[in-house]
Chain A
Amino acid sequence: MNKRHLFLALSLFCFSFWTWTSAQESSSPPVEEKQIEESPDLTAEFSLLQEEVKKLRLAEEEENAKAVTPVQIQIPKIDVDTAVEQVGVLENGQMGVPKDENQVGWFEPGVTPGSKGNAVIAGHVDSKTGPAIFYQLDQLTKGDDVLIRDEAGNTLRFRVTKTERYDTKTAPIEEIFGATSNRNLNLITCSGTFGDGGYDERFVVYTELVDTELNETVDLETPTAVELKGNLLTWHAVRQESVIGYRVYEVVDGKATHIESVPSHARKSIEVTNENDASYYVTAIDQLGNESKPSQTTN
């Protein structure tokens, strides 16, 4: 659980040994503070009934059963087949790197590959002496496969959805590491020009889990009949077993704010202030923290 509450200062790190050493010496590495939410804490957000909490735990367990603790990665297109180390966060807030330049590092405090969210694996592009394991990572294009295996031999297949090149200082940490309802695996290495501060770019390969069984899961329905009756905002429940509650958003001047969370066993209505020409919409939340599309907005 403490993973969820862990405040991590992360920066994308270049995976050249040489640069790594120099970065450690650097007095002011670019540090950006972000909270990584593995998944929102549903038990804190919704006052759930015991059986609902049980349902939630079961769903989480089932969910985790799909994930694998990676020990091996294969990327057939660029002939990568190597071991996976576990890395964490360095004292300066940067993500750690694999000790062996011919292996890769899975960011262990984050998401496990196959779970919902962004799992991250980094590998070096080169060492002081020459190319390293992710030297050809930029050859990957949409549709290429990445395979992840755990100790027992369970294999997950991920497929590249896109690749991006970012300036080191402005890379979107949230997009790469942050919470998502998809089961993603993102691969990082260095690119660009090598200078005093190391490489000035990072190359990121975004992939998502290919799993026919998972793709068949029913889409979360959107709450209907959202109506404002005076100060009472009411809506109809989403009649899906997996729904544990609803989030209510208030929209003022085009800006939406989450104002309340209502558990599924409660009356589907809340009292709102209804000031400043506010309008409202509602989303449904399932036991894995997935959020439905917004309902129609009132007014």
Chain B
Amino acid sequence: MKKKTLNKIVAPALALGLLVPTGVQADDHMPTASTPAGDLRATLDQLLSEHYVLAVTSMMKGYDEAADAEAAMQALDQNALDMTPAISSVYGEEGGMKFEEIFAGHNDYSSDFVEAAKSDNEELRMEAEAEVDEFVEEFSTFLDTATEGNLPKAAAADAIELHEDQVLSVFDNYVEGDYEEAYMTFREGYKHMFDISKALSNAVVMQMPDKFTTGADTPAVELRSTLNSLAGEHFALAAIGMQKGYDQAEDYDYVTWAEDQNTLDFKAAIQSIYGDEGAAQFEKVWNSDHITAQGDIVAATLEGDEAMIEDARMRLDQFAVDFSTFLDAATEGNLPQAAGEEAIKQHETLVLDTFDQYVAGDAEAAWMSFREGYAFMFGVGETLGNAIVTQMPDKFEETMMPEEMPETGLGGAQEQSMNSLYAALAVLGGILLAFVTLRKRKVSEQ
């Protein structure tokens, strides 16, 4: 029952990011973030980063013996199951099954780490660490094989190992009460998931050039991924922060600190596109009736102050108006105000649902809302990203590059003289130089 509901929630996101492209890419050269490779990367961004957030959070909840620890763990398991169809769509049923076998199992170790920390069981900890090492070995081998070496085993192993280290570091610091370190690592670990996603989607794209005609790292797709990362992290920290605030957890202030750092990163992204003034406007709107209103809802809920809750909710509605107006103006109408407001309201509703259900003690509903709300953020990159790309196509133009050098000679002159060979090489060099210069210019224009 529960599983079905969760599947239903995640289905739209997966449909959107169906990994193997069915259509052919548009012919025109207008840059866009909505490419098969872009969809592939967005889906991996979402599932992998959600895995990370849920893994870390469920471990903390488990350690605290929180009432919703089990529900959080179930959400983590469901996330793993959601990856299988994604993998199957690229590598077939068998590949999907093989993946599930390796991947789903590794979530079990996290409860061993929790148990070891709670009972101070050094032996159990060592066992769990050994199992993680085994997982890194197995999974990197799987990725190497599946991508036919496009994601080499060594690189995959390094990336996965770093991820496992980061998860453990967040948890260990949390257990130690070093919350600042815990949430600094949380943020690094979160970003690292997007690096893994990039490496993996690049490998798949390289492996299947006829299915993916454009890259997984074009400027437009990069923008989409960046916005998804910022939006997803915002949601996760907002939802988790509100829970921690309601519980008056010791690490509440550190979650809100991380949330504020996320705001700064978001601001920097806006700055790179719209300059200082746009960034300052963004920051003001973002904090005013949004971040502070969410904080007020937590405090008012603790105080039982219905009027203050109502007031804060109305401020969130105002934020939807203000922020969509900002985005409309910034994108010069490419993200129309009404559509923006609608989407932002949906996001806020999902944040509040997660919180209200948590407060009501309905852990399962809360974590389903969390997953739904998290997935929702991964539409932000595409919608907002495309609005920006459409607004300033020059900035996101893909540099056209041939895959191989041109055949600039037929060999007839080979035997004539070395001089002509040098001349031919000079021509070739000139062409190469032209490519490099062109590429550099495009890059610097961004």
Contact = CB atoms under 8 A, between A and B. Distances in A.
Interface of A: 47, 49, 225, 229-232, 234, 236-237, 239, 263, 265-271
The list of the 6 closest CB pairs from A to B, nearest first, reads: A267-B295, A230-B283, A266-B299, A232-B287, A237-B253, A268-B253
Interface residues of B, number: 27
Interface of B: 245, 248, 250, 252-254, 256-257, 260, 263-264, 267, 280, 283-284, 287-288, 291-292, 294-296, 298-299, 302-303, 305
A266 B245 CA distance: 7
Contacts of A231: 283-284, 287-288
B284 A267 contact: no
A267 B256 contact: yes
A29 B249 CA distance: 57
A271 B303 contact: no
Nearest to B264: A229
A237 B251 CA distance: 10
Contacts of B264: 229
B301 to A, nearest CB: 10
Contacts of A234: 256-257, 260
A269 B296 CA distance: 10
A266 B284 contact: no
Contact of B292 (A232, A239, A263): A232
B284 to A, nearest CB: 5
B263 A229 contact: yes
Contacts of A271: 287-288, 292
Given A266-B298, A268-B253, 8 more contacts: A47-B299, A47-B305, A229-B260, A231-B288, A232-B263, A234-B260, A265-B299, A269-B260
A230 B245 contact: no
A231 B296 CA distance: 16
A264 B250 CA distance: 11
Contacts of A239: 250
Contacts of A232: 260, 263, 283, 287, 291-292
A180 to B, nearest CB: 30
A169 B252 CA distance: 53
B287 A230 contact: yes
B295 A266 contact: yes
Contacts of B284: 230-231
A267 B292 contact: yes
Contacts of A266: 295-296, 298-299
8 contacts: A231-B288, A232-B260, A232-B292, A237-B253, A239-B250, A266-B295, A267-B292, A270-B292
B291 A265 contact: no
A265 B292 CA distance: 14
Contacts of A47: 299, 303, 305
A269 B260 CA distance: 10
Contact of B283 (A225, A229, A263): A229
Contacts of A230: 267, 280, 283-284, 287
A269 B295 CA distance: 9
A239 B296 CA distance: 21
A225 B291 CA distance: 18
A128 to B, nearest CB: 61
Contacts of A267: 245, 252, 256, 292, 294-296, 298-299
A239 B299 CA distance: 18
Contact of A269 (B248, B283, B291): B291
Nearest to A267: B295
A237 B254 CA distance: 9
A227 to B, nearest CB: 8
A94 B302 CA distance: 46
B219 to A, nearest CB: 28
Contacts of B291: 232, 269
Contact of B303 (A49, A229, A236, A269): A49
Nearest to B177: A239
A221 to B, nearest CB: 13
B257 A225 contact: yes
A162 B296 CA distance: 47
Contacts of B296: 266-267
Contacts of A268: 253, 256
A265 B303 CA distance: 9
A269 to B, nearest CB: 7
Nearest to B241: A267
Nearest to B254: A236
Nearest to A266: B299
A265 B248 contact: yes
A49 B280 contact: no
Residue in B254, B260, B288, B305 whose Cβ sees the most chain A Cβ within 10 Å: B260
A61 to B, nearest CB: 23
Contacts of B256: 234, 267-269
Contacts of B298: 266-267
Contacts of B260: 229, 232, 234, 269
Nearest to A47: B303
Contacts of B303: 47, 49
A268 B241 CA distance: 12
A270 B295 CA distance: 10
A237 B298 CA distance: 16
Nearest to B295: A267
A236 B253 contact: yes
B91 to A, nearest CB: 44
A150 B145 CA distance: 87
Contacts of B248: 265
A266 B299 CA distance: 5
A92 B295 CA distance: 50
A265 B257 contact: no
Contacts of A237: 252-253
A232 B263 CA distance: 11
A270 B260 CA distance: 12
